[in-house]
Amino acid sequence: MTEQALRALFDALSQEEKIGQLLQLEAGFFAQSDFQTGPAAALGLQAQDAALCGSVLNLRGAEEAKAVQARFIRQHPHHIPLLLMLDVINGYETAFPIPLAQACSFRPELTQALCAAAAREASADGLHVTFSPMADLAADCRWGRVMESSGEDPLLCAAFSAAAVRGYQGDDLAHGGTLAACGKHFAGYGAPLAGSEYAQVELSPAAFQSDYLSGYRACIGAGSRLMMTAFNTVDGIPASGSKPLLRDLLRGQLGFEGLLISDYSAIAEMIRHGYAEDRRSAARLALEAGVDMEMVGVCYVRELDALVRSGEIPQRLIDEAAWRVLKLKNDLGLFEDPYRGADAEKFRACALENRTLAAQAAAETFVLLKNDGGLLPLGAQKAAFIGPYAESRALHGAWSFFCREADTVSIRQGVEALGKAAAFCKGAPLLAPGAIIPGFSADYVESETEETQATLLREAVRAASAAETVVLCLGEQRLQSGEGGSRAEPVLPAPQMQLLRAVRDVNPNIVLILFAGRPLLLRDVLPLCKSLLYVWFPGSMGGAAIAEVLYGEKEPVGRLSMSFPASVGQCPISYRALNTGRPEALVPTGRFHNGYQDCPSAPLFPFGFGLSYSAWQCGPLTADRAAFASGEHLVLTCTVRNIGRRKSSTVLQLYLQDVCASVCRPRRELKDWHHVTLAPGAETAVSFEVTERMLQFYGPDGALRAEAGEFRAYAGFDSGTQNACAFYFQ
Ligand code: BGC
């Protein structure tokens, strides 16, 4: 409807209806007929709240969505439709690789295509809004939600966050087949102390501005219609009630004009944080800070009216928030078509169609970490596929609620589809017998017993002895990462380590395939295998893509979006650390240098690392001039050669270092990259254009600046490259 008509509708609403728009309920509560007992009553919900609420969380199914919407509109005094929201993170029923893996493709356009595909599928199932992308910068692999992030680098994080928003929302939100995006979690959620879920966040103003805001800025720049607050405190203030963070920074400085939703019950949780005395003060703090909608909580519906009546908050704040909800509904076209093309058949067709994309995408995200002796790609040798992931179909990561395992392609199916003869056995339980991982809805309980574990191990040793090559398929259980998935020791589960050692005793030709939602600690694992392919959680078509890569039909082309620590003591670890006054390289002996006595300071694998099936070399990096000034640019060039025996692709990465600045700058920062594909023996010159924009950084005051002086440039195949040259900016 026109803005004028929307205004007229808004003006006709009662206070109760306006406040109702600010409430989001779980589908379960909403469907309740009895508000006297059960979880709705425990939360303090009343039937009238459900009748007037603005949005529903986790309602799925085209037919169900249409029925609920029709009923709701009919009974609502002004027939205002509901907003249906859900976490569509890496695909929907057809699961794509987890976001951390997508970032390893170094192809934001891939993520854009995946998010557009997920939006088509999920909107056909009745949804309007997805709580994605997660734009939190994450450098600590103890934190379970790194799986949902784009990793440790601000540029990569910004590029992938923006691409996701563009993919979900398309060019025109009113056009069906799209979802409104919600950048989250504002702010700093990816830096919880010691990687512990929901823990406090303490960041320097410089790191916060320059690094941690990058993903959110990108979401806003790409037009994300919603943003979500974070559960954590930032410098002692819960994000969901922080006026400086939300009203001043998010809305004021960053210019966000869309709908700001709290995270799940985060407004009431300010009481437990020790920041709000009670529900009433929590409601006041959140609304004053600028939170428009409360996700599953009753602070707003129970308290806002009284707060206005007592004069503690102005009516204007409620009006602004309710207006934003109506505006989003209107932009989504809900007043014209409250179902937005929800259609069960269309949904089925989209889910099926998305499988092709899922297979292509998965192969772009695998990272080859080791290939000694060139065991990969596999040839005609007799291979035994051993491990709990050899035949598993649970390849979709913690945030895929609707992925159907029955439709997922396992490694075994992928290998057999290629017509390869191989033996398969489980070898070990995923976790220790009896272990339980609490789930989002259902828990994972390891069903193998100590007796069956021993039998599995015996079978595995037999199969490994009879094979030329063993492909060990190991990894984390999918619920070990994701929300609530912090791990103090993110190692391979003990029964799988035992399997690895036992197999290694009888056959050293081990190709290890690792599934995980995070970088695992691999120091003890690495010496036990000859090849190591990291496949994250690859989604519905994972097994097909893995088989193609193993047998060389495709090449592993992923590059790490997070550094892999050598020890948990290094966490959080990032290649972008600042220099100390005593770097290890410059103080090589004695004790008074940066780092550890019992562990190197370098990661096990650096950010940007990844091997291919060929070998690559790059020539010296040169600049076309010694200096450039504002408004000009400079060109850096180096020659890249495929020195291996097969056609191959790599990612040439450009890093810059601002040698001396008013705020210490990282040792190096990713600034650009090029994908290069060459025939064996071929070479090409690759150039990067360096502009003033690339030299800029945000000061602690939030102002963007480029400072004159010396810069060092590095180009190579990972963040550890020493291929460097210098230039000046005047
Ligand atoms: C998570 C959010 C998510 C929300 C709704 C919360 O627990 O932190 O990322 O969008 O639940 O499912």
Q: pLDDT of 513-563, one tens digit each?
A: 999 999 999 999 999 999 999 999 999 999 999 999 999 999 999 999 999
Among protein residues, the one whose CA lies closest to atom 8 of ligand 1:
263
Cα of 387 vs centre of ligand 1, distance in Å, is: 32
Pocket test for ligand 1, best of 89, 127, 131, 481 (most atoms within 8 A of CB): 131
Average pLDDT, integer, range 246-260: 98
Nearest atom of ligand 1 to the alpha carbon of 182: 10
User: How large is the average pLDDT for residues 105-133?
Assistant: 98
How many separate helices (H) and strands (E) can be counted in the chain?
Answer: 22, 29
What 3-state class would DSSP assign to 682? coil
Q: What is the dihedral of CA 505, 506, 511, 513, to 10 degrees?
A: -70
Residue 692 · residue 709 · CB < 8 Å = no
Do 85 and 345 touch, CB atoms closer than 8 A? no
- Tell me: the pLDDT tens digits for 666-714? 999 999 999 999 999 999 999 999 999 999 999 888 889 999 999 999 9
| pLDDT more than 90, % of the chain | 93
Q: Span 447-457, mean pLDDT?
A: 97
Q: Which residue has the tokens 């025996």?
A: 645
Q: If we measure between CA atoms, which residue out of 711, 715, 692, 712 comes closest to residue 637?
A: 715
Asked if residue 614 has pLDDT above 80, the reply is: yes
CA–CA dist 467, 162 (Å, integer):
47
Residue 633 Cα distances to 630, 688, 724, 727, 728, angstroms: 8, 10, 18, 11, 11
Distance 483 CA to ligand 1 centre (A): 8
DSSP 8-class letter at 148: G
Reported as a pLDDT band with limits 50, 70 and 90, residue 33 is low
User: Which protein residue has the closest C-alpha to ligand 1 atom 10?
Assistant: 131
Counting from 1 in the atom list of ligand 1, the atom nearest the Cα of 231 is 8
Within a 13 Å sphere around the CA of 6, how many CA atoms are in the beta-carbon half?
Answer: 17
3-state helix, strand, coil in the chain (%, to 5): 35, 20, 45
Query: Is there a cis peptide before residue 185, judged by omega within 30 degrees of 0?
Result: yes
Q: The tokens 């007929």 sit on which residue?
A: 33
Nearest to 386 by CA among 508, 536, 513: 513
The pLDDT tens digits for 315-361 are 999 999 999 999 999 999 999 999 999 999 999 999 999 999 999 99
- Residues 6+ positions from 10 with CB-CB distance below 8 Å: 319, 322, 323, 326
Give distance in angstroms: CA of 316 to centre of ligand 1: 28
Among 263, 292, 343, 718, the one annotated catalytic: 263
The one-character DSSP state at 378 is P
Query: What is the per-residue DSSP string for 142-160?
Result: TSGGGGGS--S-HHHHHHH
**Pocket lined around ligand 1, Cβ cut-off 6 Å:** 87, 131, 184, 263-264, 483
CA distance 87 to 101: 18
Establish whether 263 is a catalytic residue.
yes
Using CB atoms within 10 Å of the CB of residue 226, give its burial: 0 to 12 exposed, 13 to 18 middle, 19+ buried.
buried
**Omega of the bond prior to 187 within 30 degrees of 0, cis?**
yes
SS3 of 597-645: the string is CCCCCCCCECCCCCECCCCEEECCCEECCCEECCCCEEEEEEEEEECCC
394 CA distance to ligand 1 centroid (A)?
22
Report the C-alpha gap between 505 and 528 in whole angstroms. Answer: 9
